Structures are given as structure tokens and as C-alpha cells.
Structure 1
Amino acid sequence: MRKEIPLSVPNLKSDIISNLEECIESGWVSTGGRFISELESKIADYVQVPEAVSTQSGTAGLHLALKVLGVQPGDEVIVPTLTFVAAVNPISYLGAYPVFMDCNEFFCIDTEKLEDFLHNECNSVDGMLYNRKTGRKVAAIIPVHVFGNLCDMERIMALSTRYNLKVLEDATEALGSYYTSGKYKGKYAGTIGDMGVYSFNANKIITTGGGGMVVSNHKSYLDHTRYLGIQAKDDTLYFVHNEVGYNYRMLNIQAAMGVSQIDQLEEFIRVKIRNFELYSKLLHDVNGLKMLPFSAGRVNHWFYALAVDKEIFGCSRNELMHGLIEKGIQCRPVWKLIHTLKPYEKCQGYKISRAMEFEEGVLNIPCSTNITEEDVRYVVKEIEQFKR
């Protein structure tokens, strides 16, 4: 019997309804209302920072954060090529340029190559770093905690201090991931750099339908983020605006969903880990397939990555993907590498190799927090049918 199993969908429960009813009955469905501040407070408490600022989306949060951190037109920002394009587009919004880095075995930015680039391809002049090839100032690094994996923030922060670079953590996929050893033991992804951003898009581990959150240990950064996100309004009565701002506010009706979802986050992570371990066990003896492990630490296991070796499995990643989709099992390849996309093909990429292997051979398979053990076993059984 055919089953439809989505890749990653929201896990919504009826306790959200009363919050939504309150928004409708009170009329607070737009950019004001109590649920916005309540969600900001809950997220700040959860990731153990003093304050958080909600935004329309994770992308909006990244845009605001880059601006607050002082990225200027003509600057360069170092980013991974293996990520969703939303991590990179805000750089272009500001008239700056991305420099693309390779990834490590956990899909996160390769710090060996990052250090090599900073040391061998750049010059420090009067406390600023300049790319020898382009002559542009290198202003910031955006480490992306891909699929919930934890970047090597110890090394990234050490490099940022050495070379005077700002660090904006893209933790849009990593809410709930934290370090269990080292200098940042107990620290959550997103709370270590100068600023961090989370996403509540519908496919994330918790959702508000859309929306994002900016965190920082620097109150001035958050104050400026909030100010810019409400159209840089200096006087609410006479409509005075002293900077160019943005309509990047979260809606109260979105936040009403989020205040319920955040209370379920730990249970969602337990389900993610349980299902990943089941997939790994069931696929362990299937030659040519491997569930790729997550990094050290407590990782939220947001997206699962299945590596397909065509020569051994007898079926390519793409053949397996299209076959599963025809059977009603939603899956997808990892992203097309951003340095190969038309808007960015003229930007600099540095020693990219592993990311190309992942682009060719990795498949994301169903990982929703509401899929059951029976669903996992069904997906594995269907995958096995493609073994040749």
C-alpha cells in the first residue's frame, strides 16, 4: 500500500488554537501583541542569552545582523558554498561580496581552509584584512550550522579575533544544538559569535509558519536590529525616520504559534535523534549507503543525510531520489553549490572539493518530528528495493 511521507513538515498540535483565537478576538494579528515579546523571552531563556529580537524571517534576521555589524558595500564576507542561498543573499542586499569556502565532514565550514585563506590569501593593513586577489576588505564570517551540526566555533572565534573579523552565526537550522565540551561547553549554536540568527520556517524543527530570531550578547546590536526592523522609526507620532529601515517585524499571529512550539522543542529533538538512530541501524548493512553522522555535541538532528555510492549500491543518488518520489516518499539532494549559481559564479571560491562530493552523492530523507517508527521502516524498505 502506497504511503505519502513528506520530507520535513510542521508538527502542530491543538494547543495552538487558543493562542490563535486570542489573536483574532483581540485584533492583534499583525506586528503588535503580547505573543511577540513572549516568544522573544522564551527563545532568549532557552538559549541562555539576555535578549532576543524577532524578525519576519531568518533571512531578514541575517540581513539586519550584517548591517548592524557594519558590513559595507564593496566588503567581502566569508561563507560556505554548501548551504541554502538565504545565508548568502543578504550579503548581496548590502552590496557586498561573498567568498565561498569548502565544508568539512559535517557539512560545516572547513576551518583548515578558512585559516589557510586568511593567512595566505589576505593582508592585514591598519587592523583591517584585505583579500590580495580582489583588493577588497574582508569584514565578516558567516559560519552556518548546517543540518543542526555544530561548527568549530573555538577555531572560528580565534581566527576572528586574530584577523579582526565579525562573526554572524547562521543557526537557522540549529535551534537546540549546543556544545558539550571545550571552551564553549553548554553554549548554544547562535550564541557565541557577535550575533546569531534562528529560523522558524515551516520545515524547521519548530515553526511559526515563517519568522526568525536574532540573538546577541551585545545589547547595542539588538537595539539597532529592532530599530531597523521597524522602519527605523524615531518618533511614532510624527513619523520621524533617521535611517533607512525595513518592514521586518514578526506577526503576533506567527508568534502565537511559536510560544506553543518552543515548549515542545526538547521532545522534538528526542524524536529526531531516535528516528536517525533507527535509520542508521536499518541501513547499516546496505552496501553503498551510509547515514552520515552528526558532529560532536548535543545536535538537534534537523536534517538527515544519506550518502549514496553508485558504484557499490548500483543506483545513483538521483535515480534513488526520483524513484522514492514516485513512490510518495519526499526527498531531496543537498543544495546546488552557491558558487556555481548564476548570481555568484564570478565570486571567489577557495579550494572547494568535499562540498562537490556531497552535492553529487547526498540525499536528504524524511525527518519530520511526527513520522513514526513504522514510517521509517517503510522508507528503508522502499530504499532497499533500489539495490542492484
Structure 2
Amino acid sequence: MLRPQLKNLVAYIQEMYQCEAFLPLHEPRFNEREKELVMDCIDSTFVSSVGPYVDQFEKQIADYTGAKYAIATVNGTAALHVSLLLAGVERGSEVITQALSFIATCNAISYCGASPVFVDVDKQTLGLSAESLSDFLSQYAFVKDEQCFNKHTQNRISACVPMHTFGHPCEIDRIKAICEKWCIPLVEDAAESLGSVYQNQHTGTFGLLGAISFNGNKIITAGGGGAIITQDEQLAKKARHLTTTAKVPHKWAFNHDQIGYNYRMPNLNAALLCAQLEKLEVYIQNKRETAQKYQAWCQSNQVAFVSEPPNAASNFWLNAILLKDQAEQQNFLEYANNQGVMTRPAWTLLNTLPMFKDCLAMPQNNAQYLSEHLVNLPSSVR
């Protein structure tokens, strides 16, 4: 049996979005400006990974986030993969992350030949828990020669990757301090948090490197795309080199000095993103207004709404509610989707997937609770 107010929530969503047909969870918004820049790119014939729109986009995304450097990639997973390599993640090492995340987080770790180690998330921020991280390191880690090792496996702990879940910043300042104490490079999975700030600083700029996604369901998109952001000039140069097949610059010769990756964003996608960036602040304001409407409705109807954490301003990429138990969660998901209103739970916890089930994991009490209670609501720009 579903609470009447949850059925009313579905009707409220349909009314808010003025939608009588299928309502997706998050869809892109395009207009004539996108068509104008894409056609200009097509007419220029520079549609692949070299072109002025790539340069323009990289400058704009660096300026927007406050990073000194940005390197455009084909997607967020590629950005995270290369960021981990540049942070020193190597085969046989371990990377601390969270189980409540999209599969790309652990895929990127696996591409490096490393193994994820799962700590719990914080129930308020939905991101990696500073307490769980500290508990894990106190129990399992030691530092030698300014490097961190797992005293049970003897493997090096080569990085920590917190994720800013649904655009809500985690307590990245506390996580950074813990990582510095234990000599662990910090790489931020900021795939979902473009436009989100913590203590007036953009997510993705606290760590050594940050990875952003521009997938089709993100706040701005080119159908795909990603970016590495960093304050370190040498890391930026290495990122640009690695993502361009490690090709040594030359007018005509094809010389490569190491194994590289064909990860650079095409100029065609960058043109689309340059147009999208022009509207980013408008989109964020619109999404924050939508979140306020959801929050007000939830407060009036005794439904728990996931609000932005303290000291943070979230882009509210995806709005979320917490229901009474897993049965109510599943009943609401079935009802809403049958009514044409797309809703979804959080991802299946990564430590329960077959390829990661044998990886070391701290107790996942908060992550488990969120996986059984949380539901994402439609969050497109209205």
C-alpha cells in the first residue's frame, strides 16, 4: 500500500513539468545557439579532436571552476582514468572510494590495474564519509617513505576517490586533510557536480585532479564528453599528452613516446558544450528553484527530502527523497514509472557486484540504508 501523499507527489511532478506523456529523469535542453555553433564547426571541417572550440571550451571550463588548467576528454570515465594514472595509481595498488557510486568510478580504478577499497558514505552528503575513511586508515594503514600502505595486504594505497553524489558536495575539506595526513593523493570524481561549490570553492579543485562528465544526462552535455581539471601545470601537460595518444608534436611525423589514449574530445562536441556553457548559470538557478519546490512540498507532506549539505551550494543535478523502507521505495518506483514519471533508486552498491564483491570493504551501513530508501525524482531544467 502506497501512502496517498506519494501518489500526490507523482501528480505534483506532472503538474510542475506540465507533462502528460512520459517524463524522463533528466533530459538535455538545446536551442538555436547549439545549432549555430555546431554548424559553424561543421563548416570549418575541424570536427575531430583538434579545433578552436576545444581550446575555447577548455579555457571556459577552467575559468568557471577556478582551475588553472582543463583538458577536454571524450567522457568522464576517460577523465577519471587518466587522472588516476597521473596521481600515481598503478597495477597492484589499492584505491579508496565509495560503494554508492556509478560503475565508472570503479571501472576507471580497474583500468589502472588497481583494486577499489570501499569505505562508507555520509548519510547527509551522500558522499564518502570522512569518519569511515579515518577509521579504515587507522585500522589498516601505515606510512613509510611518505607513501601509504595497507598493513594487511602490503599493497600501496595509491589514491582516494570521493564522489560528489547527485551534485551534492561531500566534506571534501576533511577528506583532503585526512589524505594529506596519510600521504594519499586525492582525486575527485566530480562527474555530477559541475556548478556545485563547497566553502565557496568549486568541486573538483580540492584534490590533485578532478574529473567532470558531460554525458547526455548531465546538467550540460554534448551527448558525451568529460574534462580533467587541475592546478598543476606539469600534470596538465601530461594529461594533454596522454589523452592525445602520447603523440610527440610534429607537423607531419607520427612519433609516440609512451602508451597513450585516444581520449581527446572532438571539436564538434566542444562546439555544442561552448553553447551549453553560456546557459549554465541559468540552468543551475532553474534547478535550484525546482529543488526548493520539491523541498517545500516534502515538508508539507511528511516526506524526507535530500537537501544540500552545510557549507555547500549544490547544483541539484538529481533531486532525491528518502522513503520509509525498501518496500515503500519499490512500491513508489513501480507506481511512478507506471504513471510515466521516471524515477530510480541509487545505483547497486559497487561492493556487491560480482567483479568487486571480494574487494576490501568497511561496514556500509549508510550506503545500504540509502540504497534501500532513496529515490531520484525528475530533475530536468524546466
Settle same-fold status: TM greater than 0.5.
yes
* 1:295 alignment counterpart: 309
Letter in 1 for 2:183: N
Judging changes above 3 Å, is the alpha-carbon distance between structure 1 residues 80 and 310 closer, same or farther for their aligned structure 2 residues? closer
* 1:79 alignment counterpart: 97
Give how far 1:205 is off. 0.7
Q: Are residues 1:351 and 2:369 paired?
A: no
Letter in 1 for 2:260: G
CA contact (8 A) 1:149 1:295 kept: yes
Q: Are residues 1:218 and 2:237 paired?
A: no
CA contact (8 A) 2:342 2:378 kept: yes
Structure 1 consecutive aligned stretches of length 4 or more whose deviation exceeds 4 Å: none
* 1:383 alignment counterpart: none
Q: Distance in 1 between matches of 2:171 and 2:25?
A: 28
Q: What is the TM-score with the length of structure 2 in the denominator? A: 0.92
Q: Distance in 2 between matches of 1:226 and 1:357?
A: 40
CA contact (8 A) 2:329 2:372 kept: yes
Q: Distance in 2 between matches of 1:125 and 1:166?
A: 15
Q: Distance in 1 between matches of 2:160 and 2:198?
A: 20
Give how far 1:31 is off. 1.1
Q: Distance in 1 between matches of 2:65 and 2:325?
A: 41
Aligned with residue 192 of structure 1, among 199, 206, 215: 206
SS at match of 2:219: coil
SS at match of 1:364: strand
* 2:126 alignment counterpart: 107
Aligned with residue 57 of structure 1, among 63, 71, 75: 75
Aligned with residue 144 of structure 1, among 163, 171, 185: 163
* 2:297 alignment counterpart: 282
* 2:48 alignment counterpart: 30
CA contact (8 A) 1:290 1:307 kept: yes
Q: Give ranges in structure 1 of 5+ residues lacking alignment.
A: 181-185, 371-388
Q: Deviations over 1:46-72 (max 9, x none)?
A: 111222100000000000111111111
Q: Distance in 2 between matches of 1:173 and 1:320?
A: 25
Give how far 1:344 is off. 0.3
Q: Distance in 1 between matches of 2:141 and 2:290?
A: 44
Letter in 1 for 2:141: C
SS at match of 1:316: helix
CA RMSD of aligned residues (A): 1.4
CA contact (8 A) 2:325 2:372 kept: no
Tell me how many residue pairs correspond in the alignment: 361
* 1:379 alignment counterpart: none
SS at match of 2:248: strand
Q: Distance in 1 between matches of 2:337 and 2:160?
A: 37
Give how far 1:260 is off. 1.0
Q: Are residues 1:4 and 2:22 paired?
A: yes
Q: Distance in 1 between matches of 2:142 and 2:193?
A: 33
Letter in 2 for 1:274: E
Letter in 1 for 2:347: W
Q: Distance in 2 between matches of 1:256 and 1:213?
A: 14
Q: Distance in 1 between matches of 2:231 and 2:84?
A: 15
Q: Are residues 1:229 and 2:247 paired?
A: no
* 1:377 alignment counterpart: none
Q: Are residues 1:333 and 2:348 paired?
A: no
Q: Are residues 1:133 and 2:152 paired?
A: yes
Letter in 2 for 1:336: T
Q: Distance in 2 between matches of 1:257 and 1:60?
A: 19
Q: Are residues 1:158 and 2:184 paired?
A: no
Letter in 2 for 1:94: C
* 1:373 alignment counterpart: none
Letter in 2 for 1:224: K
Q: Distance in 1 between matches of 2:249 and 2:276?
A: 34
SS at match of 1:166: coil
Letter in 2 for 1:229: T
Over the matched positions of the two proteins, sequence identity in percent amounts to: 33
Q: Are residues 1:96 and 2:114 paired?
A: yes
Q: Distance in 2 between matches of 1:337 and 1:74?
A: 23
* 2:286 alignment counterpart: 271
Q: Distance in 1 between matches of 2:360 and 2:376?
A: 28
CA contact (8 A) 1:2 1:327 kept: no
SS at match of 2:97: strand
Give how far 1:165 is off. 0.8
SS at match of 1:332: coil
CA contact (8 A) 2:69 2:232 kept: no
Q: Distance in 1 between matches of 2:152 and 2:317?
A: 37
